[in-house]
Chains A and B, each alone.
Chain A
């Protein structure tokens, strides 16, 4: 006795259509509008720079998506990306290590913070949102301690009066500046990771089980799934993804800016939530997050070219998120269950 069947006989259902294709349609319409009115928007360069600009948010968002799949939400991703910027700068500038060392330090740092989140949530039983919120504040403050609250760049005067010996290595700076053929490296990393997450979530047993946990954790546990291990895995991966985003960001800025990553959290959560509504899936998914990030990239690039002021961006991002939430919660008949409870 399914109410949904009521509409099945009508053939075309506008509500279903909007829920499924609304976002893709909006993306295409905006793209066509920008492309037809602004010649610069059409250039390959603009397209790639738009995707490149979006890649940090997108990669971080993919990590958030993983935590949403297990029914949680990682609020510490922006702080982890910020931590990565500071960590990479410290490694190269203050300790004069190579870019490769910085890369390893950053990824390890992200994984450690992710595992710390997992510890709070799984072992200490703190609700996901609150645990990661606490982590966010803690590491935002903690990262400032070794650098005395200063941004780290070459020539920094250290506590003992000496000058920091190292600098951002050219190799490290290449992370953001290199190309694979015509494709900027960050864009390539973004699409590669989106593909990997897609395979992981939809084609592997681990992804399947993670969706089960997000939908009904008790049923998953009673089917013999070690729920807590998967939740820990999701947060560890989220930490790593945020630190990859942080690496690209660090390479882009070229210095240990202490405010880097501050705005990333909201964007990353927003693209994951937008992704949940794409195609009426009513669940977090890799391509949804990707599309959400691309959509926000198109809008912001377009508006910037059209000469809208910078603060218009936040308004637009807010509206995009709001629309996505209306699609997921108001219009969709498949109510999303992937909303963490505090």
Chain B
């Protein structure tokens, strides 16, 4: 194999914090190299160096055997390195047509003259779409880019980066917003790029994807490369290197339990305007796992139960009594709590400490006549840090400065101070490293054991299998499977998930 990009002895530090030390990496032409690592392992820093975001590193970057200087996103691009980031909505320009978005860089650079008819642009775009097998006809190219689905927007961003025929394409968790079918589509696209000789650096936490697409696997931990393998990979070895000291094999070791009495009953609840009514009983003393693709209605279900979204139709009973939350505050009073799916947008207050974040939902308990009890608040912060094993310098640390897994621990932990009746966790393991995921899973299972109903919603089968006693598959707002976790398998679940309703 011929190397496209070589990285030699790259190190970087933020102050006293050494984030990369002596990284050597070879990325070969025409194949996909997978980059795996827990949060804080140095993956993002390495990507940011390659894409020109950070320039204060030491070491060399070689492209086609020649040393190049990469000190800005522009120099990275002209050296042939293109990066597609996780956030898709940051890559498209709303208000412009699909065609204009596709040719955006050429329009900006002046390669396409300023005053040109949409027709010319659409013609040009059509050629690109055809060359890439995108199957987009002219009327689609004339649409506003927002009419594309999220997967197609991602394809658009990919297609656009290809207009400069890059040597290396970096994909940072490209499937985080895609369904299984959409991901498969993306993989076909990637294979196509490989055939053209483009090197791909692929970052993801989803092992099944890496298994499917990568020829080479690189595992990072603590700013160093710990393990390099060629396919077929030993995942056991890769995970051991990735997690360091942590013991593997805890998985599936928990004892499956069966729920006792019903905590929450949903009667003919509609999650979408056109969807079939949903009937569901969520029991205490067990972890109910609901799995479904993006758009299956998981978040809608969580928000309806939590009173954050209006109920379209149907009713709910909480421990046999009618339950009609009009606001999240109504749910919290009844001891129903939610950990929302998007931490930064829906849970974290910028610049707030662990203690402050922890007490926000329970300010009444941490104040007397309105005055905040600082001492009690500090104690609560410390307890949370210990209880969830949050890795931090102190309970006064700013939550934004923690790693994703530790942020999630704080958000989960804050609801555990008062005993919930029903605890809902929406995608609790997204962007969370495996160590933190285990800690959170364990804590959540312990919680269920203390007579609490726990509802976990996720789109990753492994995540659900790791934590749930009962598994429910949701497709377009409808329950298509409802079984005990021990009585099913990954294959059966995936099968049901891809069922067309």
List residues of A whose CB falls within 8 A of some B CB. 1-3, 5-9, 203-206, 208-209, 211-212, 215-216, 218-226, 282, 334, 337
Q: Does B331 contact A (CB under 8 A)?
A: yes
Q: List 7 A-B contacts (CB under 8 A).
A: A5-B17, A8-B15, A203-B371, A221-B327, A224-B333, A226-B329, A337-B350
Alpha-carbon separation in the docked complex, A6 to B363 (Å): 36
Out of B14, B331, B352, which one reaches A224, CB within 8 Å? B331
Q: Which of B166-174, B210-218, B341-349, B479-487 contacts A (4 or more CB under 8 A)?
A: B341-349
> With A5-B15, A205-B367 given, is the CB distance from A225 to B346 under 8 Å?
no
> With A204-B372, A205-B367, A215-B352 given, is the CB distance from A223 to B15 under 8 Å?
no
Q: Which of B15, B44, B306, B347 has the most A CB atoms < 10 Å from its CB? A: B15
List residues of B whose CB falls within 8 A of some A CB. 14-17, 19, 40, 44-45, 306, 308, 327-329, 331-333, 338, 340, 345-352, 356, 360-361, 363-364, 366-367, 370-372, 401
Minimum CB distance partner of A334 in chain B: B351
Out of A211, A222, A225, which one reaches B338, CB within 8 Å? A222
Out of B346, B363, B367, B370, which one reaches A222, CB within 8 Å? B346
> With A218-B345, A224-B331 given, is the CB distance from A1 to B370 under 8 Å?
no
Q: Which of A208, A215, A216, A222 has the most B CB atoms < 10 Å from its CB? A: A222
Q: Which of A208, A211, A219, A334 has the most B CB atoms < 10 Å from its CB? A: A219
A212 to chain B: which residues have CB within 8 Å?
A: 349, 352, 360
B401 to chain A: which residues have CB within 8 Å?
A: 2
Out of A6, A211, A218, A334, which one reaches B346, CB within 8 Å? A218
Alpha-carbon separation in the docked complex, A205 to B351 (Å): 17
> With A205-B363, A222-B340, A225-B329 given, is the CB distance from A216 to B350 under 8 Å?
yes
List the 9 closest pairs (A to B, CB-CB), nearest first: A5-B15, A224-B332, A205-B363, A205-B367, A223-B361, A204-B370, A224-B329, A223-B360, A215-B349
Kindly list 5 other residue pairs between chains A and B, CB separation below 8 angstroms, not including A215-B352, A222-B308: A2-B14, A220-B349, A222-B340, A225-B329, A334-B351
- A205 near B327 (CB under 8 angstroms)? no
- B308 near A221 (CB under 8 angstroms)? yes
- A205 near B364 (CB under 8 angstroms)? yes
Alpha-carbon separation in the docked complex, A223 to B347 (Å): 7
Minimum CB distance partner of B331 in chain A: A224
- B14 near A6 (CB under 8 angstroms)? yes
Minimum CB distance partner of A204 in chain B: B370
Minimum CB distance partner of B398 in chain A: A2
How distant is B286 from chain A, measured CB to nearest CB, in Å? Answer: 25
Alpha-carbon separation in the docked complex, A8 to B14 (Å): 10
> With A1-B14, A3-B14, A5-B16 given, is the CB distance from A224 to B372 under 8 Å?
no
Minimum CB distance partner of A228 in chain B: B327
Alpha-carbon separation in the docked complex, A142 to B8 (Å): 74
> With A5-B17, A218-B346 given, is the CB distance from A204 to B367 under 8 Å?
yes
B306 to chain A: which residues have CB within 8 Å?
A: 222
- B360 near A209 (CB under 8 angstroms)? yes
Minimum CB distance partner of B336 in chain A: A224
- A219 near B345 (CB under 8 angstroms)? yes
A223 to chain B: which residues have CB within 8 Å?
A: 328, 332, 347, 360-361
Minimum CB distance partner of B401 in chain A: A2
B327 to chain A: which residues have CB within 8 Å?
A: 221, 224, 226
How distant is A197 from chain B, measured CB to nearest CB, in Å? Answer: 14
Alpha-carbon separation in the docked complex, A5 to B17 (Å): 8
Alpha-carbon separation in the docked complex, A252 to B44 (Å): 62
Out of B15, B361, B370, B371, which one reaches A9, CB within 8 Å? B15
B364 to chain A: which residues have CB within 8 Å?
A: 205
Minimum CB distance partner of A5 in chain B: B15
- A203 near B44 (CB under 8 angstroms)? no
B366 to chain A: which residues have CB within 8 Å?
A: 205
How distant is B368 from chain A, measured CB to nearest CB, in Å? Answer: 10
A211 to chain B: which residues have CB within 8 Å?
A: 349
Alpha-carbon separation in the docked complex, A17 to B170 (Å): 40
- A221 near B14 (CB under 8 angstroms)? no
How distant is B475 from chain A, measured CB to nearest CB, in Å? Answer: 26
A208 to chain B: which residues have CB within 8 Å?
A: 356, 360, 363, 372
Minimum CB distance partner of B333 in chain A: A224
Alpha-carbon separation in the docked complex, A214 to B18 (Å): 35
Alpha-carbon separation in the docked complex, A207 to B16 (Å): 36
A7 to chain B: which residues have CB within 8 Å?
A: 15
Minimum CB distance partner of B374 in chain A: A203
Alpha-carbon separation in the docked complex, A2 to B45 (Å): 11
Minimum CB distance partner of B42 in chain A: A1
- B349 near A219 (CB under 8 angstroms)? yes
- B350 near A215 (CB under 8 angstroms)? yes
B332 to chain A: which residues have CB within 8 Å?
A: 223-224
Alpha-carbon separation in the docked complex, A203 to B370 (Å): 8
How distant is A218 from chain B, measured CB to nearest CB, in Å? Answer: 6
B356 to chain A: which residues have CB within 8 Å?
A: 208
A221 to chain B: which residues have CB within 8 Å?
A: 308, 327-328
- B348 near A219 (CB under 8 angstroms)? yes
Minimum CB distance partner of A282 in chain B: B351
How distant is A16 from chain B, measured CB to nearest CB, in Å? Answer: 14
How distant is A298 from chain B, measured CB to nearest CB, in Å? Answer: 31
Minimum CB distance partner of A209 in chain B: B363
How distant is B414 from chain A, measured CB to nearest CB, in Å? Answer: 8
Alpha-carbon separation in the docked complex, A6 to B328 (Å): 41
Alpha-carbon separation in the docked complex, A1 to B347 (Å): 21
How distant is A3 from chain B, measured CB to nearest CB, in Å? Answer: 7
How distant is B481 from chain A, measured CB to nearest CB, in Å? Answer: 29
A334 to chain B: which residues have CB within 8 Å?
A: 351
How distant is B380 from chain A, measured CB to nearest CB, in Å? Answer: 14
- A6 near B15 (CB under 8 angstroms)? yes
A209 to chain B: which residues have CB within 8 Å?
A: 360, 363
> With A204-B370, A216-B349 given, is the CB distance from A9 to B16 under 8 Å?
yes
Alpha-carbon separation in the docked complex, A41 to B308 (Å): 58
How distant is A75 from chain B, measured CB to nearest CB, in Å? Answer: 25
How distant is A258 from chain B, measured CB to nearest CB, in Å? Answer: 40
How distant is A205 from chain B, measured CB to nearest CB, in Å? Answer: 4
Minimum CB distance partner of A218 in chain B: B346
A1 to chain B: which residues have CB within 8 Å?
A: 14, 17, 19, 40, 44-45
